[in-house]
Structure 1
Amino acid sequence: MKHLKITVNGIPYDVQVEEQDSAAVQPPKLQPQPVAAAAPKAATPAPVSAPAAKPAADAEVINSPMPGTIVNIPVQPGQSVQSGDVLLILEAMKMENEIMAPHEAVVDSVLVSKGQSVESGTPLVALR
């Protein structure tokens, strides 16, 4: 038995691999199976807040630092924020990450909606 260390997405895993004689291992015989019709999908709930179309030309855009899901947006367009105020909460890898205002500003637009999945670099909030 071999002990191997494998890293997947930056997370190390210790695994054990057992070697088998290739002549002794036979692949399973597969039989065709009937496929049942898929049930219709339930409608997804509407987002709580609709994102703005585009930020103002002079607005500073705050981008997502990582992929995740937007779980809360406590700010609204036109709201004043101070340095360190929470602009939104992004859930990534089962942890809630607060995305904070880098300085005193006014929220120009919110570019995402609650429940939306975002990738790293996705525009989240525009500040003026």
Structure 2
Amino acid sequence: MRNFVITVNGKSYQVGVEEVGASVSAPVVSAPVAAAPVVAPVTAAPVAAPAAPAPVAAAPANGEKVLSPFPGLIKNLLVEGGATVKKDQPILVLEAMKMDNDITAPCDGVVTFQVAKGANVESDAVLAVIG
């Protein structure tokens, strides 16, 4: 039986491995093993149910659609619905893979959001219409 110390995600474990079959002679070096720190158990705090998303206005018949470039979560709406925006002005934040991505207006106009804060969206979903 050979003993090893392995480290996984910063935590050290001492393991024993039984040799089976051919024997290989190699020098064995002992390394000091630090005692694992004692961590108090963590209990999850109760979380209130999320508020229902605000109703979304119907899409205007004309205007330029702002599409989601990838799936993600609408983290924040940076302007109010009905606000006048300029081309390339950030209008909302789309979180994907733990990164915040500013979604900008493709043209000047009045923004009408088709999504609410906290909504999950797929690729090519209509996020807003600029008219």
Please indicate, yes or no, whether the TM-score normalized by the shorter chain is above 0.5.
yes
Give the structure 1 partner of residue 114 of structure 2: 111
One-letter amino acid matched to 2:49: T
User: 1:59 offset after TM fit, Å?
Assistant: 2.1
Give the structure 1 partner of residue 51 of structure 2: 46
Structure 1 residue ranges without an equivalent (≥5): 1-41
Rounded Cα–Cα distance in structure 1 between residues aligned with 2:118 and 2:81:
18
TM-score by length of 1: 0.60
- Residues 121, 44 of structure 1: alpha-carbon distance in 2 compared, 3 angstrom cutoff: farther
- 3-state secondary structure, aligned to 1:83: coil
Give the structure 2 partner of residue 72 of structure 1: 76
User: 1:49 offset after TM fit, Å?
Assistant: 3.8
One-letter amino acid matched to 1:112: V
TM-score by length of 2: 0.59
Equivalent residues of 1:105, 1:127 under 8 A apart? yes
Equivalent residues of 1:64, 1:118 under 8 A apart? yes
Structure 2 residue ranges without an equivalent (≥5): 1-46
> Aligned pair count?
85
Alignment of 1:24-63 (within 5 A): 44-47=49-52, 49-52=54-57, 54-63=58-67
Rounded Cα–Cα distance in structure 2 between residues aligned with 1:95 and 1:47:
24
Rounded Cα–Cα distance in structure 2 between residues aligned with 1:81 and 1:47:
27
Aligned Cα RMSD in Å? Answer: 1.7
| Bigger Cα displacement from structure 2, 43-52 vs 118-127 | 43-52
Rounded Cα–Cα distance in structure 2 between residues aligned with 1:66 and 1:48:
21
Whose Rg is larger? 2
Rounded Cα–Cα distance in structure 1 between residues aligned with 2:55 and 2:98:
24
Give the structure 2 partner of residue 17 of structure 1: none
User: 1:123 offset after TM fit, Å?
Assistant: 0.6
One-letter amino acid matched to 2:116: S
Give the structure 2 partner of residue 87 of structure 1: 91
Equivalent residues of 1:73, 1:88 under 8 A apart? yes
Rounded Cα–Cα distance in structure 2 between residues aligned with 1:47 and 1:87:
22
User: 1:116 offset after TM fit, Å?
Assistant: 0.7
Equivalent residues of 1:111, 1:126 under 8 A apart? yes
